[in-house]
Amino acid sequence: RAKKDGPGKVVVFAPQMHAEALARLTLSGDLQQALALGEFRLQYQPLIDLATGLPAGVEALVRWHRPDGRYTLPGDFLPAAEENGLIVDIGNWVLHTACQQTAQWRRSTPDLTLNVNISGRQLTDPGFPGEVERMLRRSGLPAAAVTLELAESVLMGNPEEALPHLAGLKSLGVGVAIDDFGVGHSSLSYLQRLPVDEIKIDRAFLRRPEPTTRDLAVVRAIVDLAHALRLRTVVEGVETEAQRVAMHRLGCDLGQGHHLCRPLHPEELAVPVAA
C-alpha cells in the first residue's frame, strides 16, 4: 500500500507500522498507569574515585518493575515517555525519590553526592527549575550535592536553546554534567561556553577490554581538555581492571562500570561510612 503525499512524494506504509503505532499507544497508557501505581523503581550505580576506590556518589537509574515480574530498562520505555511528555512526571518522581534516598544515606555518609539524568524535554520545561528547588527543600539536600546529567546530544543539538535553561539550573547551585560525551557532535567551542561542571566520557571509548595506545590518546585528550576547563571527569563503562588502571593513569577522576560496581537496588547499597 502506498499513498501519494504531495507532488512526487510517495510514502509507503509497511503493514507493521500500524502495529508499531498501536504498541506505542498502549505503552503510553501503560506508562501513565505505571506511574500512578508506583511501578517505577530506582537503582543506584556508584561513581568510584579512581584514586581511592571509594564511592564519591551515586547515579540514579530508573527501571520499570511490572506486576508480572518483568523488569524493563529505560531504553525500552523512556523514548515513548519522551515522545508523549510523560517524561516530565516520571522525571519529577525520579528527582524526588533520589533526593529523599540520598538525604537518608547522607546521615551516615555525609559527603555522598547524587547524579540524576535529565531529558531534553525536562530541561526546557518551564516548571523544571521550580521543581528542582522544591525537591531540594523537601529532602534537605544541599544543592551542591546534586548534579543533573544532560546528554551531549541534547545540549549540543541546540546549544543556544540549552544555554539559558542551564544557567537557570546553575543559579540554584546544582551541578551540571554532560552525559555520553564524545560520541555526538560536540563542538569544543560550546564546551567552553556552556556552564557545566562535569564530563561523563561515553563508554564507547572503552569498547576494548585492553585499551590500545590509540584508544587512550583520545580519552587523554578529553580528560586534559576537561581539566584545563576545570571540569570533573567521569569515565563510563569500566568493565576490566586494565581499563580501570589505564583511566586512573591518564588522570580521569571518577569511573563507573560493571567492573567497579553494577547498578544496585537501594537496599543493596551499603554505603561505607566515610572515614
Yes or no: say if 46 and 58 are a contact pair by the CB < 8 Å rule.
Answer: yes
4-17: b or e for each residue (b if 16 or more CB lie within 10 Å)? eeeeeeeeeeeeee
Q: Coil, helix or strand for 85?
A: coil
With both helix axes pointing from N to C terminus, report the angle between 128-139 and 87-105 in degrees, rounded to the nearest 10. Answer: 20
Using the contact rule CB under 6 A, the part of the chain among 154-162, 170-178, 209-217, 257-265 near ligand C2E is 257-265
27, 31, 34, 45: which one binds ligand C2E (CB under 6 A): 45
Yes or no: say if 214 and 246 are a contact pair by the CB < 8 Å rule.
Answer: no
Q: Closer CB to ligand C2E, residue 66 or residue 193?
A: 66
149, 152, 198, 253: which one binds Mg ion (CB under 5 A): 149
237 binding partner (options Mg ion, ligand C2E, none; Cβ < 5 to 8 Å by kind): ligand C2E
152, 179, 198, 253: which one binds Mg ion (CB under 5 A): 179
CB of 77 to Mg ion, least distance (A): 16
Size of residue set near ligand C2E by CB under 6 A? 24
Q: Closer CB to ligand C2E, residue 60 or residue 112?
A: 60
CB of 237 to Mg ion, least distance (A): 7
Q: Does residue 263 interact with ligand C2E by CB under 6 A?
A: yes
Q: What are phi and psi of 116, to 5 degrees?
A: -130, 135
Rg (CA), the chain: 20
Q: Closer CB to ligand C2E, residue 103 or residue 148?
A: 148
What is the distance between the alpha carbons of residues 74 and 50, in angstroms, rounded to a whole number? 27
Q: Closer CB to Mg ion, residue 44 or residue 190?
A: 44
Task: Name which of 247, 237, 234, 246 is nearest 55 in CA terms.
Answer: 234
Q: Does residue 72 interact with Mg ion by CB under 5 A?
A: no
CB of 200 to Mg ion, least distance (A): 5
CB of 263 to ligand C2E, least distance (A): 5
Among positions 189-208, residues that touch Mg ion (CB under 5 A) are 200
Q: What are phi and psi of 176, to 5 degrees?
A: -130, 135
Cell of 45: 550505580
CA–CA distances in Å: residue 199 to residues 78, 222, 252, 271: 22, 9, 10, 24
Q: Closer CB to ligand C2E, residue 172 or residue 264?
A: 264
CA–CA distances in Å: residue 254 to residues 179, 198, 225: 14, 10, 16
Cell of 141: 539536600
Residues that bind ligand C2E in the complex, under the rule CB under 6 A = 45, 60-62, 73-75, 78, 91, 94, 117-119, 149, 179-180, 203, 236-237, 239, 256-258, 263
Residues that bind Mg ion in the complex, under the rule CB under 5 A = 117, 149, 179-180, 200, 236
